[in-house]
Structure 1
Amino acid sequence: MTIDHLLASTTASRYEALTELDVPSERLLINELQTLCLLLVQAAPALLLTTVSLLFTGKLLDTVSHWDAMLQVDQLIMIIPTILNLQGNLEMNLSARLSTAANIGELDDPATMRSMLIGNWTMLQVQAISVSFVAACVSLVLGKIVPRVQEENLQTRRPIPHLPPEAGVRHSGFPTLIMVAATGMTSAFLSGLILGSFMCLLIVVCRRFKLDPDNIAPAVASCLGDLVTLCLVGVVSTILLPFLKTPIPFILGIAMVIIAVACMVYTARNPHVKQLLTQGWSPLFIAMAISSATGIVLDMFVSRYEGFAIMAIVISGLPGAAGSIFVSRLSTSLHAAAISAGSGLRLSEPSRKLVMITLLLITIPVEIIFLAVLNAFGWLKLHVFFIVFSVLFFCCAVLASLTIARYLTDWLWSKNRDPDLYALPIHSALMDLIGQLLLVLCFEIVTSLGAKLHAKKS
Structure 2
Amino acid sequence: PQRHESGSDGWAVRLSQATVREIVAPWWFKLRDTLWDVFSDACSVSFLGLLMIGVITGARKAGINPDNVATPLAASLGDLITLWVLSAFSSLFFECIDMTWLPPLVCAVFIIMTPFWVCAAKRSPSVAKVLKSGWLPVIVAMIISSIGGLILDKTVTNPNFEGMAVFTPVMNGVGGSLVAIQASRISTFLHLWSKPGVLPYKMRQNWPNPCTIFFSSEVNSRSARVLFFLALPGHLVFLYTIRLLHGGHVSLSFPFVMFYLMAALLQVGILLYVTEVLVRLMWRKEVDPDNFSIPYLTALADFLGTALLAGCFHLVWLIHGL
* 1:183–1:308 distance in 2 versus 1, CA, 3 Å: closer
1:362 to 224, 230, 233: 230
1:443 to 303, 313, 318: 313
Which letter maps to 1:420?
A: D
Which letter maps to 2:320?
A: G
Which letter maps to 1:277?
A: L
CA distance in 1, matches of 2:107, 2:257: 48
* Structure 1 equivalent of residue 149 of structure 2: 295
Whichever of the two has the greater Rg, that structure is 1
* Structure 2 equivalent of residue 376 of structure 1: 244
CA distance in 1, matches of 2:253, 2:73: 31
1:36-435 correspondence runs (5 A): 111-138=1-28, 140=29, 176-177=30-31, 179-241=32-94, 242=96, 244-297=98-151, 299-302=153-156, 303=158, 304-338=160-194, 351-379=219-247, 380-435=250-305
* 1:246–1:381 distance in 2 versus 1, CA, 3 Å: closer
* 1:335–1:441 distance in 2 versus 1, CA, 3 Å: same
* Structure 1 equivalent of residue 211 of structure 2: none
Q: Secondary structure at the match of 2:57?
A: helix
CA distance in 2, matches of 1:371, 1:382: 8
CA distance in 1, matches of 2:278, 2:136: 15
CA deviation vs aligned residue, 1:191-247 (integer Å, no higher than 9, x gap): 122111111111111111111111111211122212222222222233333254343
Q: Secondary structure at the match of 2:54?
A: helix
CA distance in 2, matches of 1:189, 1:341: 34
- Identity, % of aligned positions: 27
Q: TM-score, normalized by length of structure 2?
A: 0.84
Is 2:148–2:307's contact at 8 Å kept on the other side of the alignment? no
Which letter maps to 2:279?
A: T
- Shift, 1:341, TM fit: 11
Is 1:243–1:249's contact at 8 Å kept on the other side of the alignment? no
CA distance in 1, matches of 2:45, 2:309: 32
* Structure 1 equivalent of residue 201 of structure 2: none
Which letter maps to 1:119?
A: D
- Shift, 1:249, TM fit: 3.0
CA distance in 2, matches of 1:340, 1:444: 45
CA distance in 2, matches of 1:124, 1:339: 27
Q: Secondary structure at the match of 2:126?
A: coil
* 1:206–1:190 distance in 2 versus 1, CA, 3 Å: same
Is 1:119–1:272's contact at 8 Å kept on the other side of the alignment? no
CA distance in 2, matches of 1:400, 1:297: 19
- Shift, 1:393, TM fit: 2.1
Q: Secondary structure at the match of 1:136?
A: coil
Is 2:174–2:231's contact at 8 Å kept on the other side of the alignment? yes
- Shift, 1:365, TM fit: 0.9
CA distance in 1, matches of 2:10, 2:258: 44
| Equivalenced residues, count | 299
Structure having the higher helix fraction is 2
Unaligned runs of 5+ in 2: 199-216
* 1:296–1:192 distance in 2 versus 1, CA, 3 Å: closer
Is 1:279–1:421's contact at 8 Å kept on the other side of the alignment? no
Q: Secondary structure at the match of 2:122?
A: helix
Q: TM-score, normalized by length of structure 1?
A: 0.60
CA distance in 2, matches of 1:240, 1:301: 29
Which letter maps to 1:214?
A: D
Is 1:316–1:436's contact at 8 Å kept on the other side of the alignment? yes
* 1:180–1:370 distance in 2 versus 1, CA, 3 Å: same
Is 2:267–2:304's contact at 8 Å kept on the other side of the alignment? yes
* 1:186–1:404 distance in 2 versus 1, CA, 3 Å: same
- Shift, 1:351, TM fit: 1.7
Which letter maps to 1:449?
A: I
Unaligned runs of 5+ in 1: 1-110, 141-175, 343-348, 453-458
Which letter maps to 1:392?
A: M
- Shift, 1:281, TM fit: 0.5
